[in-house]
Amino acid sequence: MRSLVFACLCLAGSVMADLAGADGYTAPAWLPGGHLQTIYASLFIAAPQVDYRRERWELPDGDFLDLDWVDGEKGTPVVVLFHGLEGSSRSYYARDLMHALQMRGWNGVVAHFRGCSGEDNRLPRAYFAGDSEEIERILRHVKAQHPTQPLYAVGVSLGGNALLKWLGENGEAARDLIARAAAVSAPLDLTAAGAALDSGFNRHVYTARFLVTLKAKALRKAEKFPGLLDADAIRASTTFREFDTLVTARLHGFVDADDYWLKVSSKPWLKFIRVPTLVLNAKNDPFLPASALPSADDVSAAVTLEQPDDGGHVAFPNAPFPGSIDWLPQRLLKHFDR
C-alpha cells in the first residue's frame, strides 16, 4: 500500500493550486482525493508521542475499562475522546489531540471501548457503534473526577456515532454532563457506510484491514464462550455485513447487520441534540457517501454541520509537504473555546 501511495503522490505533484474546503480547511495540492488523504494521514504523517497515565476501572458487571489520561493544570477543562473502530490511545488522531491538550495545560483522557486497550475484555460482549449506555457510563465517571471543570467530548468515527446517539437520546439532560461536543467523520448512516465499505476498493483495503483484528478478537471470544459464536463462519467472513451479522448483532441483541445498522445510526438523533455540537464530515470520506450526509433540516439549532469538500476519513492533512495533521485538533479546540 505504501508504494501505491507514493506513486500516486508523484502523479499529483503537477497540481498547481490547493483544493479549497469549507470553514478554513484546505487540502494540500499534492494530496488529492479521499483515499490518498485517508491513507497518507494514517500511515505517513508522524503523530507526537504521548505519555499516558492509565486508569484501570473495574465495572460492577465484572468487566473493566482502561482510560489513558494526560493530566493538565489544576482547574482546566477536561476533554474525553471516544476512539474509532479498533482505535485506541495509540491512534494517530488520539495522540495528536492529547498532545495539543498537553500544550495548553488541559486535561485529556482517551476512553478505550471494551477490548481495545491491548487486553481482551472479560464478558461475552464487545463494543459497537450505538452503545450510548457506555458513553454515559464513561462521561459520568470522568465528570465525577473533575466535578467543577468544563467537560468536552469528542467522538471519532464509530465513537462519534455513539456519542451523537447519546446526545440525541438525552437532549437537554446531556448538558448536566458536558458543555460542548464534537464528532469527527462519524458514520451517521451506518447502512450507507456499510454498503460503501463492503464495495470495491474499500472492501479490499479498509474493510480487509479492520477485519484482521476484529475477527481475531471474535475468535478468541468464541473459544472462551463455547456455543456463543460460529467460529467457522467468522473465519470465512469478508465483509462488514457478514461480520456484523455473525458477531456484533449476536453479541448485542440485534437480528442481523441490517437491524443493527438501522437502529444505531445517529443521523435520526441529530434533531434532538441540545448541547452545542460540531459534526465534521469530509464530503470525500471513503467511509460515508456525501449523499448520506445530513443537511441543516436534519439537525437541531445546537448542531454545527461542517462538510468540507476534502479531508478523507479522520485525516484533514495540512500542507506543506510532507504534511501534518494539526488542523483537526486545532479545529476542535476552537470549537471548545467558544
- The three three-digit cell numbers of residue 211, written as one number: 477485519
**Under 8 Å CB-to-CB from 286, ≥6 apart: which residues?**
34, 35, 38, 196, 201, 202, 206, 312, 313
54 touches 67 (CB < 8 A): yes
Give the per-residue SS3 of 80-142.
Answer: EEECCCCCCCCCHHHHHHHHHHHHHCCEEEEECCCCCCCCCCCCCCCCCCCCHHHHHHHHHHH
Q: Which of 91, 117, 157, 266 is catalytic?
A: 157
Tell me how far apart the alpha carbons of residues 237 and 193 are, in angstroms, rounded to a whole number.
18
Catalytic-labelled residue, pool 35, 83, 112, 313: 313
Give yes or no: 285 in active site.
yes
Strands 19-20 and 26-27: antiparallel
Query: Quick check: 79 and 71 in contact, CB under 8 A?
Result: no
**Cell numbers that stand for 11 in this block:** 502523479
3-class DSSP state for residue 278?
strand
> What's the longest Cα–Cα distance across the chain?
59
DSSP single-letter state for residue 330: H
Give how far the C-alpha of residue 35 lies from the chain's centroid of Cα atoms, to the nearest Å: 17
The DSSP bridge pattern shows strands 107-111 and 78-82 to be parallel
The secondary element (H helix, E strand) that includes residue 2 is helix 2-12
Other beta carbons less than 10 A from residue 247's beta carbon: 26
Question: Is-catalytic flag, 157?
Answer: yes
State yes or no: is 313 an active-site residue: yes
- Give a three-class secondary structure readout of 169-231: HHHHHHHHCCCEEEEECCCCCHHHHHHHHCCHHHHHHHHHHHHHHHHHHHHHHHHHCCCCCCH
Catalytic residue list: 157, 285, 313
